[in-house]
Amino acid sequence: DVKVTQSSRYLVKRTGEKVFLECVQDMDHENMFWYRQDPGLGLRLIYFSYDVKMKEKGDIPEGYSVSREKKERFSLILESASTNQTSMYLCASRDEQGAQPQHFGDGTRLSIL
């Protein structure tokens, strides 16, 4: 079974802080994704990485950056946290071959005060 692990289930930070969210997958997947999930809006893609050191902006990249130095680890960085970044953050990975689906972690609920 694919395992996608997000380092924190709950996180509380203050406005202006630099925040790091970590995600690790154990299946040697090439592709990794960061989403945020908000009520009524569903999952929205923040950033995508198709391989080590490769990244692509998603639909809502403003205020975020990412890092992928190793294949199994994909980090989401909030450069200067703001209250409108309070949300559930979900990480996913997939094998790039064919129609392989995305596999998700259990999310990090981030509150910015």
Q: How far is the CB of 73 from another protein (least distance, A)?
A: 17
Nearer to another protein, 45 or 77 (CB): 45
Sequential DSSP letters for 20-65: EEEEEESS--SEEEEEEEETTTEEEEEEEEEETTEEEE-S--TTEE
Cα separations in angstroms, 110 against 37, 87, 103: 11, 6, 21
Nearer to another protein, 76 or 92 (CB): 92
Residue 28 lies near another protein (rule: CB under 8 A): no
Nearer to another protein, 40 or 84 (CB): 40
Q: Which parts of 34-93 interact with another protein (CB under 8 A)?
A: 35, 40-45, 48, 50, 58, 90, 92
The one segment of 12-20, 69-77, 78-86, 99-107 that binds another protein by CB under 8 A? 99-107
